Chains A and B, each alone.
Chain A
Amino acid sequence: MRDALQTQSKLRSAQATRAARKRRARLLLLLPALLVIGLFGLAPLSIALVYSFLEPGTYGGVEWVFSPDAYVQFLYERDIFDDTLVFNSAYLQIFGRSFGLAVITMIGTLIVGFPVAYFIAARPPEQRNFWLFAITLPFWTNLLIRTYSMLLIVRDEGFINLMLIKAGLISKPLEMLYTDGAVLAGLVYSYLPFMILPIYASLEKFDFSLLEAGHDLYATRFNVFRHIVIPLTRPGIVAGCALVLIPALGAYITPELLGGGKKLMIGNLIALQFGAGRNWPFGSAAALILMALVLIALLVSLRAGASKEGGND
């Protein structure tokens, strides 16, 4: 009896030490990732916050003097002569333009991406792998090179113009490069896989016999889509929208190459301040405002994803 009790308590303490060891091992395993990302991924963001309240250095960098100028500059221009503040909407326009382009990109990729995701999910399994690979591959391919290939296509002496002229449809090349349309096409081209893959992920588990059930109850093709397919794939649609909107808002390469540096987006404005503009505080402030926009988009998408539980909405 006593022996049994002893073994039991021994067992229990052995279990306790094993649990403690497991906790320690877990912590040690996690530590490098948390340290590296925390120190060199997260901490720099707070440095950007500090920088946005400093004065710019003459040759780039910052002067360690407090100044809210970076944020004031966002809305106002300081008159060179009498130092008064004049409202200036140039930067607001760049933000507005970027937001508009990003939203149109999101809607465009959704309209094009949903049918593709649905089509892949409805394939027999052995064909799905081919399609998934075909959609995933561009996602991993160098964005710069893909954008450059787009540039080769839409240039004045590019592939499209060449073909159209050869076909005799036009006599003079269409000017497509350096337009909003070119930037938009480039953004859709860049981020389309980000929309297709999450929607596919939620359609993959979709039970297609539900369609039959809907039709048996005399729903039209359209109503089946509207009341069965769309609500059940909502998490994928929301995730896809967030995954497209966020990088599109901060796009740099696409507007740089296809917009010709004239049609600035937020990304170019920020990079410019850390390059030729030599205004690091203003660049940091612009980056933080961009971050705020992204956070709002994320919160909205979280809410949109969660409200699915609420019923018919």
Chain B
Amino acid sequence: MTDPVGKKPGLFKRVTGSRELRRQPLFTGISWLVLLFLYAPVAVLIVFSFNDNRSVVRWTEFSLRWYTAALDNGDIRRSALISLEVALTATVFATVIATMAALATARGGAFRGRSAAIALINQPLMIPEIVTAIATLSFFSILRQLTGVTGLGWLILAHTVFCIPFAYMPIRARLSDMPATFEEAAADLYAAPWQVFRHVTLPLLMPGVMAGAMLAFVVSLDDVIITLLVAGPGETTLPIYILGQIRRGVTPEVNAVSTILIAVTVAMVALTFLLQRKRK
């Protein structure tokens, strides 16, 4: 481009001062529109879950009737309990396993196969969920036949696998940010490795562990595709119940349950955010 100084307005204008340069008025507009785009549909869903009317679009009056209806619904209560059982168990397993793996990869020094190990841990993130779902279904159907074992354990196992990388990320991040000096000092004062872990590493690492556990919980609680294929008969989780209802048609009851699920997620993620921000 030949010297365009001061010749063309807007995009081609030469601007001075770094504050001026950072500002892109168009980008500001786009960003606020994106925020609207991301939140407006969910906001409409939440607002109309408090509507005293069967219609999901015409507002009449504020009411909690769909929440009472949802809580009185036996199917919803049952599926909510199954969801909680699966999510809590998978979270505990995934968090313990991820914490151990994070200690090995962040505190074990450099070793051969380290990046391969990290890649394997992150593997569930790299594969489309539908592929994981059908592969797990195929594998478990063989194992179910061979072992004769049925029950919720299989679903919990499937959830544990994809929860591990989500729990691993914040724990690993926290460990990398934590200087090893306190642990070294404790070891110099003749603390056994287990004591160092129990009294020094773990208390310092706790915010990371909590963040990891909450993310794992949220991811498990919200899973649809893998659960849809792997769950056996009678193992309907809340999202699967919701999917079934949506397929049958839109009901305000579903809006109420969805709002509760969103509230749980928002609370968990907000807590995670605060935990991770504190470290700075």
- How many A residues face the partner with a CB closer than 8 A? 92
In the complex the two chains form, is A284's CB within 8 Å of B138's CB? Answer: yes
In the complex the two chains form, is B134's CB within 8 Å of A274's CB? Answer: yes
Q: Does B224 contact A (CB under 8 A)?
A: yes
Q: Considering only CB atoms, which chain A residue lies closest to B135 in the complex?
A: A44
In the complex the two chains form, is B117's CB within 8 Å of A34's CB? Answer: yes
In the complex the two chains form, is B130's CB within 8 Å of A271's CB? Answer: yes
Q: In the bound complex, what is the Cα–Cα distance between A30 and B106 (angstroms)? A: 11
Q: Does A311 contact B (CB under 8 A)?
A: no
In the complex the two chains form, is B160's CB within 8 Å of A36's CB? Answer: yes
Q: Which of B15, B100, B128, B161 contacts A294 (CB 8 A)?
A: B128
Q: Does B4 contact A (CB under 8 A)?
A: yes
Q: Does B149 contact A (CB under 8 A)?
A: no
Q: Does A119 contact B (CB under 8 A)?
A: yes
Q: In the bound complex, what is the Cα–Cα distance between A259 and B11 (angstroms)? A: 39
Q: Considering only CB atoms, which chain B residue lies closest to A125 in the complex?
A: B280
User: Shortest CB–CB separation between residue B273 and chain A, in angstroms?
Assistant: 6
Q: Given A41-B161, A51-B138, A119-B30, A211–B18 Cβ distance below 8 Å?
A: yes
In the complex the two chains form, is B129's CB within 8 Å of A40's CB? Answer: no
B:34-87 near A, CB below 8 Å = 34-35, 37-42, 44-45, 48, 56-57
In the complex the two chains form, is B128's CB within 8 Å of A267's CB? Answer: yes
A:221-261 near B, CB below 8 Å = 221-224, 246-247, 249-250, 252-253, 257
CB 8 Å contact bits of A206-227 with B (1 = contact, 0 = none) = 0011011001001011111000
Q: Given A115-B24, A221-B12, A143–B246 Cβ distance below 8 Å?
A: no
Name B's interface SS: helix
Q: In the bound complex, what is the Cα–Cα distance between A270 and B221 (angstroms)? A: 23
A291 contact set on B, CB distance < 8 A? 127-128, 131
In the complex the two chains form, is B34's CB within 8 Å of A192's CB? Answer: yes
Q: In the bound complex, what is the Cα–Cα distance between A246 and B121 (angstroms)? A: 18
B:114-147 near A, CB below 8 Å = 117, 120-121, 123-124, 126-142
User: Shortest CB–CB separation between residue B168 and chain A, in angstroms?
Assistant: 8
8 pairs of A and B residues whose beta carbons are closest in the complex? A250-B128, A44-B135, A44-B139, A26-B108, A29-B104, A33-B101, A149-B41, A115-B27
Q: A36-B157, A192-B38, A220-B14 are in contact. List 8 more A-B contacts (CB 8 A).
A: A30-B108, A112-B30, A122-B27, A140-B222, A144-B222, A149-B45, A211-B21, A220-B13
Interface residues of A (CB under 8 A from B): 21-23, 25-27, 29-30, 32-34, 36-38, 40-45, 47-48, 51, 61, 112-113, 115-116, 118-120, 122, 129, 131, 133-138, 140-146, 148-153, 155, 157-159, 162, 189, 192-193, 208-209, 211-212, 215, 218, 220-224, 246-247, 249-250, 252-253, 257, 266-267, 270-271, 274, 280, 283-284, 287, 290-291, 294, 298
- Please list 18 pairs of residues, one from A and one from B, whose beta carbons are closer than 8 Å in the complex, sorted by A's number: A29-B103, A32-B101, A33-B101, A40-B160, A116-B34, A119-B31, A133-B273, A140-B222, A148-B242, A149-B44, A153-B41, A155-B250, A211-B22, A220-B14, A221-B10, A250-B129, A267-B225, A283-B134
